[in-house]
Chain A
């Protein structure tokens, strides 16, 4: 059975800290790995990774995929209170549909001032 596991499930840090969120997966027909940020409403897209070892970066956030070891990390440097959210990892599967995503349970990040 396909699964995506995120760790830790929750994390409390102080502003300015650097955090690393983990996502491991066991999925047949892997196509892509995606990171989303969810605050109060809809998950918002952060990154999509398809190739090993290529870092994707957006401001203070970065992510990398290891397809051999089947995991990805999401790094946030110099955290701010606005980074407080649930971070979701999802894996897209082949089989003809981009709509076929399996999600982890999320990591709840709380950034204290």
Chain B
């Protein structure tokens, strides 16, 4: 998906490991968000940011940290992975004003 790049595309972790999912955008969008998508649950908001230096919690923030030191990057950190965090993670960005969000291709994460 042009403009929003997520890495890695796939990752397998063991319980207790930590890792960072990367999200980068080249559209100069102010708004960036992280969602997780689980079967039968739709997409749920984890954390979001309205600009560099500003972040806030979404519906399911526990177990995840974020920071926004630049406009371009919004990494999502799993501090101590748990099997319940097995999911597909999407990063999304949106411009100023009432503009729609656009999604990256996702990271499929499995925690054993």
> 5 tightest A-B contacts by CB?
A99-B48, A99-B33, A42-B103, A105-B42, A103-B43
Report how many residues on chain A are interfacial, defined by Cβ distance under 8 Å: 25
Known: A42-B103, A43-B103. A101 touches B45 (CB 8 A): yes
Interface SS, B side: strand
Residues of chain B lying within 8 A (CB to CB) of residue A90: 43
C-alpha gap A98/B101 in the complex (Å): 8
Contacting pair A99 B49 (CB below 8 A)? yes
Between-chain CB contacts (< 8 Å), 8 pairs: A34-B100, A44-B1, A48-B100, A97-B56, A99-B32, A99-B94, A100-B45, A101-B33
Beta-carbon contacts of B46-88 to A below 8 Å, as 1s and 0s? 0011100000101100000000000000000000000000000
Interface residues of B, count at CB 8 A: 33
- Do residues B101 and A101 form an inter-chain contact, with CB atoms below 8 A? yes
| In the bound complex, CA of A31 to CA of B58 (Å) | 17
Task: Scan A13-56; emit 1 where CB is below 8 A from any B CB, else 0.
Answer: 00000000000000000011010100001111100101000000
Cα–Cα, bound, A45→B4 (Å): 14
Q: Knowing A41-B1, A97-B50, A99-B32, say if A105 contacts B90 (CB, 8 Å).
A: no
Report B's interface with A, CB cutoff 8 A: 1, 4, 30-33, 35, 40-45, 48-50, 56, 58-59, 90, 92, 94-95, 97-106
Tell me if A99 and B101 are in contact (CB < 8 A). Answer: yes
Cross-chain contact of A48 among B33, B42, B90, B98 (Cβ < 8 A): B98
User: Known contacts A41-B1, A42-B103, A96-B50: does B98 contact A102 (CB below 8 Å)?
Assistant: no
CA distance A34 to B43 in the complex (A): 13
